[in-house]
Chain A
């Protein structure tokens, strides 16, 4: 028996969301009295034995280059064999773009129940009940998995990463890597930026910024806070900002530690995408903006005056 943790990589490095999934999987293994092992696919330049810091005893690695790109069909076959090799009863995956590509496929292959978008460890006192986010963050559902093998995909930024001293044994897994059905002809990575789904701090702005030419201060604030930038739907629809920055019910749903909303009124659809943020700050000149009802901290004021002051105060804080 084991909990098998899928460790995701990008450009030959372990993704940040993987550490969260590792912590989750290790805690789950302790809860159900089994050990936690990790599976890594593709070429990785990081030291995989260091994953032991998160509590896994063993790391299974399939270093085939075909696996450097996610082809759901190919990945599924490899994970199926890894589950058999480790006798896994639970598979844990991040609900990131990779998880969205492969989790359901693996579930169908193994006839193993999937809870997609989990936000907490399962309640195993009566069955195997996993809490997940539903209605785009407006509510939660508790879902029971009845099958022998269970699959959980964990919403990014749902679980606090913990680590300690430790090393894991790294073993090569001889798994069947089938021919890819998908040919990757181009990869376009936005480098140097913090990916929005994984960011601890997100600085987001809306129509109150009046036009794309005014985003300089938003980017500067994000830079000072090592934050990702996001925007509301009207801003993305007007092409002031790229679509992948759109957070909300029909955009990306995020759960950073700190969400700073500037010039965003806080329509219910927007709040749905961000209300799992731990701390929300709103800056808006309209005191009636609905966002003030949802936020933790707020300033009623003009963004064009408040944001430059905020940048200089944060610089002061960082210089102390």
Chain B
């Protein structure tokens, strides 16, 4: 059994978002980088839980990015996993990124490919779907529970207004969200072990990007809060009804 977990690097959730170079680039001055939360807490940790139950599972991590990704990959390896692969390329086009992952996934004949539900920077929720189509396997999105019984996965996934239980034979691509795994933090032994785990750097395959980033913008500033006294709740209701026309 081989599992591949997709790891992305994102700004820390407390980061103030700003742009540079005429609003064409993210301004990373003073920004702390983290493993994209749902890649780490959901996809990776669930894979680790599976590996703890079945030591024969081979667990690889994959990232698409430049050398600046390495500290994040080492951090992920400190949580667990046997080795990591970094495709040495940088792109804002998620199809390009997914194509790199698909090429590695195909080559490595993985049974299970896990991603987070979305990255907190581009919010596309699209890597899993792209990869599944490119390697022509089933795709289950937004998983909240994942169990494996031999080569059949039982997965709860979010649907509009509820949840659905799916049974699917491997291989499968699954995007993971909250609920799928318990939370954990890396321990010192893991951090030490991660230093010597293999981190292979491979060159990208040639892919034409389907989209290109033109510019970023920030939302307009708010006009400021209108405060109403706590003993005058009727006034708030009047404002919401007459001024904001929201109720």
Contact = CB atoms under 8 A, between A and B. Distances in A.
A181 B216 CA distance: 39
Contact of B211 (A97, A101, A146, A279): A146
A219 interface: no
Nearest to B18: A139
A190 B163 CA distance: 8
Contacts of A306: 230, 233
A241 B130 CA distance: 33
Contact of B17 (A97, A111, A135, A250): A135
Contacts of A313: 233-234, 236-237
Interface in B227-241: 227-230, 233-234, 236-237, 239-241
A266 B169 CA distance: 43
A189 interface: yes
B141 A76 contact: no
Interface string B94-130: 1100100000000000000000011011111111111
Contacts of A10: 159-161
Interface residues of B, number: 80
Contact of A181 (B168, B175, B212): B168
Identify the interface centre among A71, A116, A193: most chain B CB within 10 Å of its CB: A116
Interface in B144-178: 144, 154, 158-169, 172, 175, 178
Contact of B244 (A225, A253, A258): A258
B160 A108 contact: no
A269 B14 contact: yes
B130 A108 contact: yes
Contacts of A186: 164-165
A53 interface: no
A243 B180 CA distance: 11
B232 to A, nearest CB: 9
Identify the interface centre among B134, B138, B160: most chain A CB within 10 Å of its CB: B160
B212 A146 contact: yes
Interface in B182-203: none
B230 A97 contact: no
Contacts of A127: 214
B163 A188 contact: yes
A115 B124 CA distance: 8
Contacts of A301: 230
Give the interface size bracket for A toward B: 35 or more
A271 B139 CA distance: 31
A301 B118 CA distance: 36
B126 A195 contact: no
Interface in B208-226: 209-219, 222-223, 225-226
B161 A147 contact: no
B20 to A, nearest CB: 13
Contact of B158 (A141, A244, A272): A244
Interface string B15-45: 0110100000000000000000110000000
Contact of B168 (A183, A244, A309): A183
A54 interface: no
B179 interface: yes
Given A105-B139, A182-B166, A268-B13, A112 B124 contact: no
Given A243-B179, A257-B246, A292-B225, A100 B142 contact: yes
A302 B139 contact: no
Complex A-B, nearest 8 residue pairs according to Cβ-Cβ distance, in ascending order:
A301-B230, A104-B129, A113-B210, A104-B126, A189-B162, A181-B138, A108-B133, A258-B246
24 contacts: A72-B129, A73-B132, A97-B158, A97-B159, A101-B142, A107-B129, A113-B211, A133-B123, A135-B120, A139-B219, A140-B219, A142-B213, A145-B210, A145-B211, A181-B172, A182-B167, A187-B165, A188-B162, A250-B37, A250-B38, A250-B178, A302-B230, A310-B233, A317-B247
Given A104-B133, A243-B179, A314-B247, 12 more contacts: A97-B159, A108-B129, A113-B95, A116-B94, A143-B214, A182-B167, A183-B166, A193-B161, A250-B178, A257-B246, A300-B227, A306-B230
Interface of B: 11, 13-14, 16-17, 19, 37-38, 94-95, 98, 117-118, 120-130, 132-134, 137-142, 144, 154, 158-169, 172, 175, 178-179, 209-219, 222-223, 225-230, 233-234, 236-237, 239-241, 244, 246-247
